Structure 1
Amino acid sequence: MRNLTMRWTAAACCALSACFLAPGAARAQGSPPPTAADDDVPGNNRRAAQLYLEGNEAFKEKRWSDAELLYLKAWALVRSFDIAANLGEVQLKLNKPRSAAAFLAFSLRTAPPSAKPPHVERVRRYLDEARKQVGAVRLQGTDVADAEVFVDGERVPAEEVKHEIYVEPGEHRIVIRRAGYEEVAMPLMARAGVRETVPVAMKPVEVKAPETTGAGPEATKAAGAGGENGAAASGDAKTKAPAAGARVEERRSWVPVIALGTASVVGLGVAVGFTVASNSASADAQRFSDVLARANEQCIKPRGEFVETCTQTSRAASRAGTTGDLAFGSYIVSGALALAVLTYAVWPAPPKSTETGVRVAPFGGSRTAGIIVAGAW
């Protein structure tokens, strides 16, 4: 299986290498770019080869944006020198010299010995053209290799950090971070066509030793002999207990507030209910009274047909009075409970005495005698 995988990988490299710079070379030689056999190139390599060939077709038709996208997709699958070369050339045509320089430099560094000299020279020529439009920075230092480098907040790939970092001309800010070292930040003024070497010295983060109190043999002896007492003293320093006899404020419980508040709300609801019932009964009594008034009838000695009306009027009036009294009482109870809640919440809690001890007092009478013992803890 290992030999088979190596053969497939080699086939993919050959397929891509055969197409290396095919947009320029194929037209010069008058032959079409070779194709990759699907049976020989598995997985990502097969897909990368297909994308690479599609990118070459877009290159020939001068569809630079399409070619760039296809090359980038192929690059995401297989990072080879030939994909980097064509991608860098396309980006240079799209006026992206910084990214083009990075891809062309990668292609030049990783070109295999089998790469044809004219093709390598072509990459070198385009790289020189890209470098004339950007600035190049080489970070020099023993601690930079494993560090994270950011230019204007954007992380630089480790491949570029090891060699050269390409930036657009102008002002930039470089930040270098590494675990266990202090962060290094520096400004950079990049100039087109200028290559700079910036020395970097990273300082390890200083770890402060814990501070110790006391000095000399006596302090050491006291610390060793009184470790338990020292721990107790340390605890006392953090939370000091009140002195005996001191009066401290007792923490207030909010359970009565919740209970009384709930009762007050319930009482208010009951009062509203009785008020509605009283108003309804009053309306009924008024309606019956209006009927009697229109008939010019009184309920002292009513006629037969108005006896029932007088009875209903009396019942409605009585019901209105009763429910009105209940509503009034409910309003009083609800208000009293609300006032109790407010008083309890605002009134300061009585201080709690922390005095401890035992008191003994004699007592006596005509027939009895003794002592009273009282204690508080």
Structure 2
Amino acid sequence: MFVDPGEHRVEAMHLDYEPASQTVSVGKGGTAEVELAMALAKSEGSRAAGTTAEGGGSVTGAGSVGPVAGQPAVPVEPQPPPEKRSWVPVIALGAASAVGLGVGIGMTVLSRNARSDAEGYREQIRQANGRCIEPPSELIDTCRDVENEAGRAARFGTVSVVGHAASGVLAAAAVTYALWPRRSGPATHGVRVLPQPNVGGGGVVVVGAW
């Protein structure tokens, strides 16, 4: 700052410190340097602020606020980076879902073929005007074939249902894992999605800790 020659009062103020001031005399063409010690408003310590006054119509000043001598530094808690998501489970669940779907489709085809074979044997029995309850000797083998093919169709159908259900459950688990929000901090909680296939159906088990 540029000021007129004479006495001038220089004051430093800060919200966290007590104001400090000093009166200096500046002659024409002269300069005056001022150092002010500012005490903390609520704790011990001081800071230095410097102001330079230049006579002859101007004063140039500069101030600085730094760490207080003798005061312990406040530690800053480091923030952990967001948890990186591993895509290995998504790939594994997706692959298992594809396998389950393939098994389900294959078992469906086999079940339909076995059912078709059983219907063919039944048609042979009907054309011979026979039945499988106390069948004649010539139809015993055909009735046994009907029973065998019907059993195979039922077993393949059950495996087909399980395969399709497992495929859907695994696909849902993969999507849930991929879209579940990532944690950004210490692992104080967690959620796991587990497939639960059963005979004739399936589901998803969600295990969490908070």
TM-score, length basis structure 1: 0.29
Question: Once the two structures are aligned, what percentage of the paired residues are identical?
Answer: 42
Structure 1: which 5+ residue stretches go unaligned?
Answer: 1-242, 355-377
Task: State yes or no: 1:304 paired with 2:134.
Answer: no
Letter in 2 for 1:283: S
Greater helix content? 1
Structure index of larger Rg: 1
* 1:84-136 Cα shifts (integer Å, max 9, x gaps): xxxxxxxxxxxxxxxxxxxxxxxxxxxxxxxxxxxxxxxxxxxxxxxxxxxxx
Of residues 153, 164, 180 in structure 2, which corresponds to 1:347?
Answer: 180
Task: State yes or no: 1:315 paired with 2:144.
Answer: no
Give the match for residue 337 of structure 1.
Answer: 170
Give the match for residue 271 of structure 1.
Answer: 104
Letter in 2 for 1:318: G
Deviation at 1:248, TM superposition (A): 4.2
Greater strand content? 2
Give the match for residue 325 of structure 1.
Answer: 158
Instruction: Measure, in 2, the Cα distance between the counterparts of 1:244 and 1:335.
Output: 44
Of residues 103, 112, 115 in structure 2, which corresponds to 1:282?
Answer: 115
The equivalences for 1:33-182 within 5 A come to none
TM-score, length basis structure 2: 0.51
Task: State yes or no: 1:259 paired with 2:92.
Answer: yes
* 1:204-256 Cα shifts (integer Å, max 9, x gaps): xxxxxxxxxxxxxxxxxxxxxxxxxxxxxxxxxxxxxxx52646420101010
Instruction: Measure, in 2, the Cα distance between the counterparts of 1:343 and 1:284.
Output: 42
Instruction: Measure, in 1, the Cα distance between the counterparts of 2:184 and 2:122.
Output: 63
Which consecutive segments of 4 or more residues in structure 1 shift more than 4 A?
none
Give the match for residue 291 of structure 1.
Answer: 124
* 1:141-182 Cα shifts (integer Å, max 9, x gaps): xxxxxxxxxxxxxxxxxxxxxxxxxxxxxxxxxxxxxxxxxx
Instruction: Measure, in 1, the Cα distance between the counterparts of 2:179 and 2:77.
Output: 28
Structure 2: which 5+ residue stretches go unaligned?
Answer: 1-75, 188-210
Instruction: Measure, in 1, the Cα distance between the counterparts of 2:115 and 2:174.
Output: 34
Letter in 2 for 1:344: Y
* 1:51-104 Cα shifts (integer Å, max 9, x gaps): xxxxxxxxxxxxxxxxxxxxxxxxxxxxxxxxxxxxxxxxxxxxxxxxxxxxxx
The secondary structure found in structure 2 opposite 1:334 is helix
RMSD: 1.9
Deviation at 1:265, TM superposition (A): 0.5
Instruction: Measure, in 2, the Cα distance between the counterparts of 1:249 and 1:350.
Output: 6
Instruction: Measure, in 1, the Cα distance between the counterparts of 2:169 and 2:138.
Output: 48
Letter in 2 for 1:284: D
Higher RCO by CA contacts (8 Å cutoff, separation 6 or greater) = 2
Given that 1:246 and 1:353 are in contact with CA atoms closer than 8 Å, whether structure 2 keeps it comes out as no
**Residue correspondences, number:** 113
